[in-house]
Amino acid sequence: MRIVQLIHHSYETPNSGGDIRNEAVHKALQRLGTASQIAVGDLGSKPARQAAARTVIAVAQSVTETIVTEIKSLHPDLVVVEGVWLLEVAEAIRRYGPDCKLVFDFHNIESLLLQEKDRATGRGILGTIMPQLNRRRWQRAPEADRKAFMLSDAVWVCSETDRHLLGTISPLRTVDRVIANPVPEWCQRPGLAKTQSRGAPDLLFVGHLGYAPNKIAVNRICTRILPELRQKFPDIQLVVAGRSPNARLRKFVAKTDNAELVASPVDLGPLYRQATIAIVPLSEGGGTRIKVLEALACGVPLVATAKAVEGLGLIDGVHFLEAATDQEFVSAVARLASDRQTAEGLSREGMKMAFENFGAEAIAVSVREAVTTLGLKPNAPA
């Protein structure tokens, strides 16, 4: 079987959540046949300027023609497209060939995530008028999701939660499948045993620091949660790690007592080894969070909102501790710092959950089943 995976940008080492998912899907596809990867962004795509088309990448006609020509030369049985971002290229594939199965791999339900992002950037008075300011954009954004749905033979989403949300936009079909977000490969390498706790908690927050919901979470930790924890644990330490922090965020964390920012870490392993507790007080966003899977896979006890673990099937008190209010976060962190048995239980069950449900083998099985449902015949399993 011949397969083409169409992605937005190429990568050498998958670091972002999107790249990590693309790589896991690509490796699963390689087990089914000959899988080629084509990166549209490397050929000159750029974000659309029109507000109503924020969820779709504008692609020059010359780039689209090059991609279609290359795909046709590969004679694929299946083309997997990275999300609604690449709708224009998918439309060209349907217009000009080749005749093959077409799947959209939705990392998020982008029209709904657009609303989440808009709300995250609008606080106070601005937040109350955000629906009015963006009403037309919010109404028109689902059109791209529906077009992708109609063009494709199947849509893959990262959780049952997203599958349900997609059903509110377009009717679900039996061929639409859940392909979970994966545990990153680096979490599976040897040598990730945690260092000995020094007594006071070492908190860790990981995320793309240019993403508004993550910036809001960092602000919440530093201004409301950490000060309360310092009253209980004067030596507590917080590490905030992630890509693309702006100057304002850098200065903000630098001025926060007992906090350190690690910008664009090359290796997250040492940060998770040092961490006592991973903390994720997210209230906005979409998809499922790979930072949650990282913490679980590394055996770091997790305190998080229900939103942060949405779609992962985690059980409060078994795989993580759920917290909603600032005081609940403080209490949960304090509990884990003093109750070694609970912390070790969360670590053990979290790791088991991560690898059994989101490890490479689980993703490979899901992709094989999804492709078989399309009537295609993958290579026999190795």
Give the pLDDT confidence of 332-362 residue by residue, as tens digits: 999 999 999 999 999 999 999 999 999 999 9
Q: What pairs with residue 279 in β-bridges?
A: 303
Spatial contact of 55 and 77, defined as CB atoms under 8 Å apart: no
What percent of the chain stands above pLDDT 90?
69
Beta pairing class for 34-39 and 101-105 = unpaired
| In the predicted structure, residue 212 carries a pLDDT above the cut 90 | no
CA distance 122 to 125: 8
Q: Which residue intervals of 289-377 are DSSP H helices?
A: 290-297, 326-338, 340-358, 360-373
Reported in sequence order, the residue ranges of the chain that DSSP labels E, i.e. its strands, are 2-7, 34-39, 46-47, 57-58, 78-82, 101-105, 154-157, 177-178, 202-206, 237-242, 259-263, 277-280, 302-304, 321-322
263 Cβ contact list (under 8 Å, min separation 6)? 209, 241, 242, 243, 245, 250
Q: What is the pLDDT of residue 280?
A: 97
CB 303 within 8 A of CB 329: yes
The lowest-confidence range among 34-43, 124-133, 268-277, 367-376 is 124-133
pLDDT band at 197 (very low <50, low <70, confident <90, very high): low
Tokens 């088991």 belong to residue = 352
Is the pLDDT confidence value at 131 over 60?
no
> What's the mean pLDDT when you consider all of the chain?
89
Identify whether the C-beta of residue 365 lies closer than 8 Å to the C-beta of residue 31: no
Give, in degrees to the nearest 5, the angle at Cα 344 between 340 and 349: 150
Integer Cα distance of 349 and 315 in angstroms:
10
Residue showing tokens 């905030």: 240
Q: Please identify which residue in the block is written with the tokens 């949960």.
A: 332
Whole-angstrom distance, CA of residue 294 vs CA of residue 110: 23
Q: At what angle do helices 87-96 and 61-74 cross, to 10 degrees?
A: 60
pLDDT band at 174 (very low <50, low <70, confident <90, very high): confident
Tell me: the pLDDT tens digits for 20-77? 999 999 999 999 999 999 999 888 655 433 333 467 888 888 999 999 999 999 999 9
SS3 7: strand
The pLDDT, as a whole number, for residue 142 is 83
Please, which residues bridge with residue 6 across strands? 38, 81
pLDDT of residue 79: 98
